[in-house]
Structure 1
Amino acid sequence: MSGRVAALVTDRRARVPFALIGLALLLLSGTVVLQVETQPEPTPPREADRALEQTESATETALTTALTAATEQAATRPVTDPAETPYGEVLAEGDTFDRYLKALFYLEAQRRLDDAGQTVGEVQTDVTLPEIEDSEDFADAVDRVTLRPGSETDGVESGVIEAEISGVETVATSDGREIETETETVTVAVASPLYELHDRTQTYQQRLDADLTEPGFTQRFNARIYALGWARGYAQYSGLPVTEVISNRHIVPAANDAIYRTQKDVFGAADPELNNAIRRGWLCMAMHDAEGLYNDHADKGTNLSGTLCSASKWLFGNQATGDVPDSPGVMDLLGEAPGMDTTHTIGVNGTSLLPIRDLASGSGSTSIQGVIDRIYEVTVETDLHTETVREPVFRHDAPPKTINSYVVETEPQGVDVTVERITEPESDEEYRAVEGVVEIEHEETKRHLRETTDGQKTVVTTASGTERIAFEITVEEGELHPRARVDEYNGEDVPVTERYVYDSGPGIARAGTDRTVPLGADGGRFENYGDPGPRAIEGVFDLPKGTTRTAGRGHGERRGDRTRATVEEHVESTLASKWSNAESEADLEFNRRETVDVPHSSRKVLVATVLADLRQIRQQVSNITHTFKRKELVHDGSETGPYGELEEKVQERKERYLHRTEPFESIGQKAVYEARYAYFAALERYLGRIESAHGSAMDEIDNQLPDMGIANAIRYLQEGVTATPPEPVPLESSSLTENVTYEVSGSPTYLVTENVTSETVPAVDSGEQFAPMAARNKNYLKLPYDSVVNGLLGKIGNVLGVSNPDAELTFQTASEALVAGDKATDAANADPDHGNPKKLSRLNGELSSAVRSSIQEYSEAVGAQMTFHLYPEDVTAADSDTELVRSADDCESDSCVVVPRDCTRETCEMEADTEGDRASEEIQTAVTAAVDGYGGTVETADAIASGEIKPAIVRRVAAAVGEDSRPNAATGLDYQQWRAIVNSSAQQVVRDAAAEHAVTLSDTKTVEKLDTEIRQTLESVSKEIVAKRFDAAVNNNSFDIGNYDNWVAGTRTPVRVPAGMPVLPVPGHWFATVNAWNIDVEAEYARFEVSANVGTPATATGTTYVREDRTVKREVAGKNRRLGSVEPISVSGKSVLIVVVPPGGIGVGDRDDRDPECSPTWPVVGDVSEEAIHCDGEFSDSGTATTGSRRGR
């Protein structure tokens, strides 16, 4: 089959033989646009056919060659950024690379089709494409090409590019005359991995630029930074001499390692030399860590890292020699340090004591007395029944000759009430019945019309009459304990067993099996409401309190003494007043809410029952814990933190203590449940305060991170070490070729922060300085003094109700500074070369004196506040300007002082000659003895900071106050019960006093100067350790680290004064210290190549796709036109490192003087522009790198 026939059969071109066209023209009379012109004198058909067939074959060959050449050109200069020129804008109208390859194909096709013409006998053929004379023609030329890469097109094999080009014109001539002209669309295909190489490289660039939430470089880099940061942070926290948790020397190998892993993710392979270079990079970092502990190298012995880490010797990784360790994985980097998912457990613990303190020693509605009063409260209602016994009779003297009379008005003139009896109804719910008679004297006015000789006249007369009304007022039960809050919890009013609302009981048989059911005095039956009648009568009829008490129950018919007369007198007076002003029976109602008195013996027993029940609940509730991952300590201030979660667990647990559907056994049992409710409400309030303080801490940390904010930082924290490797995209190849394999090569192989030139990296332009990588890191919470003192502690103090500190250090920070100062002084005394012993001693003495003075103030404050909390009823105002209230609910202004919560020595004092006044001296002496006898200055300050001093204070105070001197609430309690009350009071007192009375300084300069001296001394000691260790290693000498145990052993070893931000610096709750670093890294390859083993005969070694910073020009329309540029492969990533360490160590943070630390060219990568280099500027999500000037432009 001939080529022309084959083409027709396979429909590869949209045309038919000329003979068929002529036949169609004869048969059809329609209008047709002809593409074939027949000459007057036809050439023999066989020569023309042969010429066209050969031309067709040559055309396909030329176009195939053109497509192959275009793919090779596109691979070596792949334009990805169109130029802002008329010709570059043509490429910008769609996918730049795709339109660029179309343009290359068209330009190559134009050139190669010049050789596609054929000569057969007298027939010659020429093949052309429309010429390009301007940018519009260029756009038309690009649009004439359609590309169908197999990786994107159904029906086309992967690894194959199919191209279709329209407007291919073939002209056949003979003796200079055109005999045939045809314009057609030709389709050719070549096997080429170009699109796979381009797409895979674009994916690689996208992974290098990917956000933290997407697989790519930033995820892997962040994982390595977290592993390094947490490992080094915990080493520093444990006392090892780690000055910088994260430095640029850590960023470089971590970034290259992340690049290596990202290459493998995307290409299924990585630069074979990069792994060797990374191994040496990690080793170099380790050597620098050993030598540069304090920003310096050992000044003795051999500078090993200077030789090992010369970047120019291993930029391509192929000169790594010796047994270099393998590159560490993320978990290798993390080592033994606790990871982000390490759990921490907090519990209610001592906080469970605070509500008991409030209930036992407080006053008002939050005290046990207030709880009892709420339960022993009833709403009294009255029911009035009346019956008119006698209507008033009015006798008027009508004048004679009256023809008509009518009443004008009737007015009451007086009311006389006589109480005949006050009886006790048979029902318990009816407290009293008051029976009597009301006599109301009325005056009636009448108008009379009479006849006289002078006509009709009017006469007015008045007459009096008495109305007699019998009445009965029943004073009865309305609602029992209407303000009971335990009913709010259960959603309904759970009643008390009817039998034991008023009557005494139950007895020992029932109460002995349930600790919440109280017994009466001496183990008898518990007195419940008893007889509320007397108080009900007193309340309803405004009788003086206690007036009816002597009458007792059932006194109605036996009255006759003064009490009876007094009661009747007040009742009669009250009723007479109401009747005089009443306009209807509704005005005679006597609804009152009255509190029923509880007999003293029952009240005392009830208090003891409540305390015993709450002590058991406290023991159980104190064991409630919440376990969380350490990373959850840092969260957005609006989110729920660990203490909020703990509070929710307490809320769940309280159901077993408060939920009740069965009636209560007695009024006393309901009072116990009401106390339970008050206990949990207070406990949740305290936990809520701690959670609020945690939120305030997060807000303050947010303020300390102005460049990123805590919400952004938390994203990196949550990712931490959780980056999961993405599955590489499988590499497919065409069946026309062998299997495709890829090879990646970067130049330089290992990206460093040092400038390189063409001497070490040939891909760099001659005479240029090239920066492969730029890095910057900033530690936000380096020095805690001013930021913590003036910011965080003040805000938390406001939440917890303590004053804002002014130029103060917490006891914990001060004690750590003292430890560091003592050790530095010892070192300077041993060897003056290490430091200035006199200066260290003086500064340490100043701080120590301030700490001792603060400890004394602390003792005095605790003594006074313990007295206020144990004897709140004896507290009085220290001056006339202070407004004291017993409950926050009673406070109507911003200046009132709630007793005992807000009491200080300046606002409160003990009233003279009271139990509290007499006990105050004993309490103060006991507190002073407990604090003074605890230990040295550092140990005591530590105990105050942690709250561990509380047991010593409780023990001394409980023993010092005798049974006769105890407050009323503790009367009759045994020693253990009394100690529990003291313990519950001490819980808040110790915490508040530690916050109020921190170490006061005139400013922070003393401790900052001490910090500087300590650091310099420790640097000197560390240099000596490193120097001797290296000398021993190089010269085979011995080295005994035991000589430096005082510096490197134990968790209390102070590498520096603590850095970092306390998450919650409240004694007993300072469960973590946090610090943050913002890390940015930018990089650029001078050249990046991806090779495939499939190529053309001219490039038998394979197709190589090259990305380097180059401008691309091509000759179009007779001139060199700038089409665009090749974008280099660049890296942009960041990490926000948050390290959280437990309390008790020395915190975590950098202690060098560089902040931020920048690489030499930051933020410039690529060709170095000195003018653009600077180390300031804000940190941002997108990075701040500046790329050097474009080459070749």
Structure 2
Amino acid sequence: MVAVRLAEDERGRVPFALIGVLLLLGSVAVATVQLDDSRIDQNVALAGDRAEAAAETTLRDAVRDAGARAAANPVITPAETTYGEVLDQDRPYRSYLELLIAIELRERLDGTTQRVGNATATVALQPIEDPASARAAIEATTVSATDRGLVAVTVEDVPIAIQRDESTVARRHRTLSVNVTTPVLTLHERTTTFDDRLSGETLEVGSLSRGLTGGLYGLGWTRGYGQYLGLPIEDVIANGHVELVTNLAMLDVQRSVFGNSDREGERRLAEAAVAAAEEQAVGAIAGGFRDAALPYNESTQFAEPSVDPPEDRSTTVGVNDTADRALADLLDGESNGDATPVGDDAGSEPWEYALREYAETAASIDARLRTERVRHERTLVDRERPTGSGWTRVGVVDTEPVIEAVREGDARLPESEAGWYREREHTRVVELTEIETVRYRHENGTIRNGADRYSREVDVGLAIGSRPLPRSWIPERSIGTTDGDRYQALVDRAETRLLAERGGVDEIARTVAATGELTGDATVSPDDEATETISRAAYAALIPDREAIRDVQTRAPVTHALTGASPIADLRERIRADAERYRSIPAEYGSLEERAVVSAEGLYLDHVLRRLGERSSGASGVRESVTEKIGASHDAGLDALLDVGMNYARPEPATIDAQRPAPDLDLTVDAGPGYLSREAETETTVPPPRDPYHPIGVRTSTIASLPTDHVTQKIANFVTGLFGEEREERAPLPMAARTLRSVDAIDEERAADGGLAQPRSELRDAVGSGLEDVNDAAVDALEAETSLDEEAATSVVTEALDRWSDDATRVIAYDDGRATAAVAEVAGSRDGVSRTDADRAQTMMRDAVAENFSDDSTHVALDTVESTSEPARRIVESAVQEGVEQANEQIVNATQDRIRRATGLSVLPTRGVPVTPVPGWWYATANVWHVEVHGTYASFAVRAEQGGPSGGSQLSYVRDGGGVHVDVDGDGRPERLGASSRIQFYASTTVAVVVPTGGGGVGNEGTGFVDVSPGWNATRRGPDCPQTPGGVGQSSPNSCSNPWHEAG
């Protein structure tokens, strides 16, 4: 083999330069081929991306235009058509919007392509040709509100076809998702909320029923009090008032939902409210119209009200005289005097005994004698037995101890018992001889007895223990020390009974030594003098408690006469919660006297709570009779209605903050009509729902004008029963006295002209006669509780009553406690009458007076009172009317003041229903109105200044009842999808107005028991009620449209 060097071998050699050129050209050729394929792939991808982006942009525009179209003509009620049934019945508006978006998107995408190089991308949605494809399009489109002013829209499974050189090279299926700034859902949801708040009997904040309740309570209570005070008000609540308040409440609902209310409605309401205020004088301001932000001007200003609204529609309910009556109960007790709680360990009720007996018991002790015996070993001293042999000891027949001597000495004491204090100890050593009789038997069977004598010493320990007498009504605490003189005096008496009466310590020691044991128990009470001292101390401690409890008060609405809520129950809870203030129980008693005082305080609390319980239960009978009917007239119940009405606050306007980038929404309300009238509306922007068209129908009924209703009869029977059954109707003496004082303010000339002189004289005689019996009761109580005799007590009563000028004011002074306080004050100035004695006398006098007032012997014939009050009321009302007609403000005000002072002019009101005596003989006068409103807006629009079609500045949402037609399948013929249902509403409330007793009561006189507006039967009828002509008072008392009566 020949070796060849490469550098020297030139065979087949190619120049390196040529090789380099070839390599370069080859690489260029390869690179050129790869670059063309990549560029083609990028064109396809880019064309697809651009088509997807363009589709999203198109979707945004489609959402805006479809949203504007949906809002302008929304489907609220789907049609029963082929395409109407395609919409989701549970969410017709949203599925309708989704359908419009699908249609709009298809129209905008038709023929739209995106070209990049030789690649073309086309979005090709399936056409909507029939209900099935329409349903599929809705299902593929999802609309949701991400926040206020923003709508999120998703379209699923959008196909994108990409072609190159007229050949399809790729297909995509994408989900398009966009967020669009448009309030199309916000307007619908807000309007739906508005619609929901208008109907039903909900009392939620912002609801029509709540606004109706709050406005009518303010207006009704002001007009009711004005009528009660004598102003010429025929109807407290009539349909005209309901119309005004309904419109005010409607504007409030609009503001609470949309942030604004209809401007035209505000203007027309302002005019109507001022016109009503000028015409009827009372109630518009209290009804909420002055502070309703209505557009008043100089010609639409409210005149000052002729009567102030009752801003504080509550009353103070206090314990008052109940504190004195309860203390009198404790002083007197209910036992017959044959038994005392000292010997009563059965847990008796705390009002069975008197304070003195309880003080004695709490200051008593139990004492107990216990003994201990220790016998020492005995020693045989002598033994006697039969003589001779053959005798056998059989056994001991008997043992007889014979005491030889007793001496003092050490002995073991009985063990101490838990809860007992060791008071006395004695030890003795007893020497005794035990004689045993022994039986013997002889071998021949003879039986004889012998005797053994033993000597034995026995140690005897005696102890006397004590404890305060336990009873269930005495707080269980230990005594800090028993060393006090009063306690040791009781122990001394116990020792006497337990030891001395048994012969003394030595004798007891003999008995114990001989028999084994001896026990004894005794209950020891303080003597009469000590008991009296302790009882007085207990009473003195109760005086500040009585004063504090008497001042316990609670504020309660006067409507408590019609509700289940009891202010008396609240008083009881307040006293229970503050019990430690009235009875401070120490960790341990310092003495038996302190124990008696603390126990008396607890017993007094029990008496107060018992008395309050009787007041509360006594007030429930008539209230239940009234609310049995009233409470059933409204779903919320009377308690809830009263709570809303008496504490109503108008709702705050809504603020609609949107999420960025959407701007905050400023909505405008355009209602047609803006003001809802009971009268027929002839000018509407759209065809009205009916002809004639009454925007609202109103029906108002009142309970007190229904003479056949069993409630009225039940209440009348109850009031009659207050004065006794099966006898002449009589009025309590204080009521008669107040009537007399009222009519005494009328001068003689007017009294003579008005037929008042003779009945007033008869009433004065009757009041004077009743006062004599009351004075006698006061003298008896004063004599019993002090050292004064009958003559001295009579002198005290006479002197005390001289500060009042006539019998009527003296009776009233007795009724409010001023007279008994004056008697006690004069009695306290007499010798031998302490301050505590005078206070006790005052307590018992107040109780005696109260019992006297409730006794029929002091009552005045009802005819005598009414024959005086009726002409007096006519005289005063005539003066009021004259003052009003003359428009003399000073005369009117002065006359009204006189009526305010004359609230006892009439025993029974001429209007309204007398309700529950709470407390004593007081009763309120009440009336109740049930109000129903039904109506329809011809059109209702809400506009936003953003989100319009194609970026327009305004979006309008309109509910006008029109049909909704859309060409869904593109055949040029619109299909009916549903209707833009009008906003209709029904609201109701029950208004209870309560005024004090006297005056003319409260109620409607002009419209009767039922007031029905002309449009009522056209807009709202009960399911079983035939259509009847509208008007005032058309419904009979037992009409099916009358909520106060059962059918038939």
TM-score scaled by length of structure 2: 0.69
Q: Is 1:478 equivalent to 2:484 in the alignment? A: no
Residue 519 of structure 2 corresponds to which residue in structure 1? 589
Could you tell me how far 1:279 is from its partner in structure 2? 0.9
Residue 76 of structure 2 corresponds to which residue in structure 1? 80
Residue 669 of structure 2 corresponds to which residue in structure 1? 744
Residue 141 of structure 1 corresponds to which residue in structure 2? 137
Residue 1032 of structure 1 corresponds to which residue in structure 2? none
Contact 1:782 1:1149 in 2 (8 A): no
- Name which of structure 1's ranges 709-718 and 69-78 shifts more when overlaid on structure 2: 709-718
Find the aligned partners of 1:397 and 1:349 in 2 and give their Cα distance: 94
Find the aligned partners of 1:943 and 1:1145 in 2 and give their Cα distance: 21
Find the aligned partners of 2:320 and 2:833 in 1 and give their Cα distance: 24
Could you tell me how far 1:983 is from its partner in structure 2? 1.7
Q: Is 1:129 equivalent to 2:109 in the alignment? A: no
Residue 339 of structure 1 corresponds to which residue in structure 2? 311
Q: Deviations over 1:1043-1094 (max 9, x none)?
A: 99667844026695475666653349x5977765554444331211113345
Residue 187 of structure 2 corresponds to which residue in structure 1? 197
1:743-762, aligned counterparts within 5 Å?
743-754=668-679, 756-758=680-682, 762=686
Find the aligned partners of 1:171 and 1:1106 in 2 and give their Cα distance: 43
Find the aligned partners of 1:415 and 1:1153 in 2 and give their Cα distance: 108
Could you tell me how far 1:143 is from its partner in structure 2? 0.7
Contact 2:459 2:513 in 1 (8 A): no
Q: Equivalent of 1:654, from 578, 582, 593?
A: 582
Contact 1:398 1:461 in 2 (8 A): no
1:433-472, aligned counterparts within 5 Å?
472=460
SS in 2 for 1:240: coil
Could you tell me how far 1:99 is from its partner in structure 2? 0.7
Q: Equivalent of 2:688, from 738, 745, 764?
A: 764
Residue 242 of structure 2 corresponds to which residue in structure 1? 251
Residue 630 of structure 2 corresponds to which residue in structure 1? 705
Contact 1:172 1:179 in 2 (8 A): yes
Find the aligned partners of 2:876 and 2:715 in 1 and give their Cα distance: 24
Could you tell me how far 1:984 is from its partner in structure 2? 0.7
Residue 572 of structure 2 corresponds to which residue in structure 1? 644
Give the direction of change, closer, same or farther, for the CA distance of 1:735–1:476 in structure 2 (3 Å limit). closer
Q: Deviations over 1:976-1024 (max 9, x none)?
A: 654433321122333344345499899x999999999999999998877
Root-mean-square deviation (Å): 6.6
Q: Is 1:266 equivalent to 2:257 in the alignment? A: yes
Q: Equivalent of 2:493, from 532, 536, 549?
A: 532
Contact 1:359 1:679 in 2 (8 A): yes
Could you tell me how far 1:286 is from its partner in structure 2? 2.0
Contact 2:370 2:519 in 1 (8 A): yes
Could you tell me how far 1:259 is from its partner in structure 2? 1.9
SS in 2 for 1:764: coil
Could you tell me how far 1:748 is from its partner in structure 2? 1.6
Contact 1:770 1:1167 in 2 (8 A): no
1:960-979, aligned counterparts within 5 Å?
973-974=832-833, 977-979=836-838
1:34-53, aligned counterparts within 5 Å?
none
Q: Deviations over 1:869-914 (max 9, x none)?
A: 97699xxxxxxxxxxxxxxxxxxxxxxxxxxxxxxxxxxxxxxxxx
Could you tell me how far 1:1177 is from its partner in structure 2? 5.8
Report the residue type matching 2:252 in the other structure: R
Q: Deviations over 1:473-529 (max 9, x none)?
A: 73623213444966x1xx6224346253456xxxxxxxxxxxxxxxxxxxxxxxx54
Could you tell me how far 1:250 is from its partner in structure 2? 2.4
Give the direction of change, closer, same or farther, for the CA distance of 1:398–1:990 in structure 2 (3 Å limit). farther
Find the aligned partners of 1:68 and 1:21 in 2 and give their Cα distance: 38
Find the aligned partners of 1:628 and 1:828 in 2 and give their Cα distance: 40
Find the aligned partners of 1:484 and 1:193 in 2 and give their Cα distance: 73
Residue 92 of structure 1 corresponds to which residue in structure 2? 88
Could you tell me how far 1:707 is from its partner in structure 2? 1.6
Q: Identity percentage over the alignment?
A: 19
Q: Equivalent of 2:98, from 102, 107, 110?
A: 102
Find the aligned partners of 2:604 and 2:197 in 1 and give their Cα distance: 56
Could you tell me how far 1:606 is from its partner in structure 2? 4.7
1:1104-1183, aligned counterparts within 5 Å?
1104-1110=956-962, 1112=964, 1123-1137=977-991, 1154-1155=1008-1009, 1157-1162=1011-1016, 1165=1019, 1171=1026
Q: Deviations over 1:698-720 (max 9, x none)?
A: 66664463326999434344444
Find the aligned partners of 1:432 and 1:61 in 2 and give their Cα distance: 111
1:924-1073, aligned counterparts within 5 Å?
935=806, 939=808, 943=811, 948=815, 951-952=818-819, 973-974=832-833, 977-997=836-856, 1028=885, 1042=891, 1049-1051=898-900, 1052=902, 1056-1057=909-910, 1059=912, 1065-1067=918-920
Find the aligned partners of 2:764 and 2:918 in 1 and give their Cα distance: 18
Give the direction of change, closer, same or farther, for the CA distance of 1:380–1:623 in structure 2 (3 Å limit). closer
Q: Deviations over 1:323-358 (max 9, x none)?
A: 542589xxx999843435x77655555444345534
Find the aligned partners of 1:22 and 1:502 in 2 and give their Cα distance: 120
Find the aligned partners of 2:1007 and 2:438 in 1 and give their Cα distance: 106
1:1073-1112, aligned counterparts within 5 Å?
1077-1093=929-945, 1102-1110=954-962, 1112=964
1:559-638, aligned counterparts within 5 Å?
585=517, 588-590=518-520, 592-598=521-527, 600-615=528-543, 618=546, 621=548, 624-626=551-553, 628=555, 630=557, 636-637=564-565
Report the residue type matching 1:357 in the other structure: A
Q: Is 1:276 equivalent to 2:267 in the alignment? A: yes
Residue 500 of structure 1 corresponds to which residue in structure 2? 485
Find the aligned partners of 2:529 and 2:997 in 1 and give their Cα distance: 49
Residue 774 of structure 1 corresponds to which residue in structure 2? 698
Could you tell me how far 1:378 is from its partner in structure 2? 1.7
1:163-182, aligned counterparts within 5 Å?
164=155, 166=157
Q: Equivalent of 1:370, from 329, 350, 357?
A: 357
For structure 2, the 5+ residue unaligned runs are 1-35, 285-292, 342-352, 1029-1034
SS in 1 for 2:74: coil
Give the direction of change, closer, same or farther, for the CA distance of 1:811–1:117 in structure 2 (3 Å limit). farther
Report the residue type matching 2:652 in the other structure: P
Find the aligned partners of 1:90 and 1:1014 in 2 and give their Cα distance: 76
Could you tell me how far 1:644 is from its partner in structure 2? 2.5
Contact 2:330 2:607 in 1 (8 A): no
Q: Equivalent of 2:655, from 715, 726, 729?
A: 729
Give the direction of change, closer, same or farther, for the CA distance of 1:1059–1:996 in structure 2 (3 Å limit). farther
Residue 22 of structure 2 corresponds to which residue in structure 1? none
Could you tell me how far 1:258 is from its partner in structure 2? 2.2
Give the direction of change, closer, same or farther, for the CA distance of 1:496–1:356 in structure 2 (3 Å limit). farther
Find the aligned partners of 1:440 and 1:1116 in 2 and give their Cα distance: 132
Residue 29 of structure 1 corresponds to which residue in structure 2? none
Report the residue type matching 2:678 in the other structure: T
Find the aligned partners of 1:623 and 1:954 in 2 and give their Cα distance: 14
Give the direction of change, closer, same or farther, for the CA distance of 1:242–1:171 in structure 2 (3 Å limit). same
Find the aligned partners of 2:752 and 2:464 in 1 and give their Cα distance: 89
Residue 897 of structure 1 corresponds to which residue in structure 2? none
1:297-376, aligned counterparts within 5 Å?
323-326=298-301, 336-340=308-312, 349-362=320-333, 364-365=340-341, 366-376=353-363
Find the aligned partners of 1:228 and 1:651 in 2 and give their Cα distance: 42
1:808-827, aligned counterparts within 5 Å?
none
TM-score scaled by length of structure 1: 0.62
Contact 2:560 2:567 in 1 (8 A): no
Contact 1:85 1:1122 in 2 (8 A): yes
Contact 1:83 1:1123 in 2 (8 A): yes
Q: Deviations over 1:674-701 (max 9, x none)?
A: 5455445544544555456567786666
SS in 2 for 1:379: strand
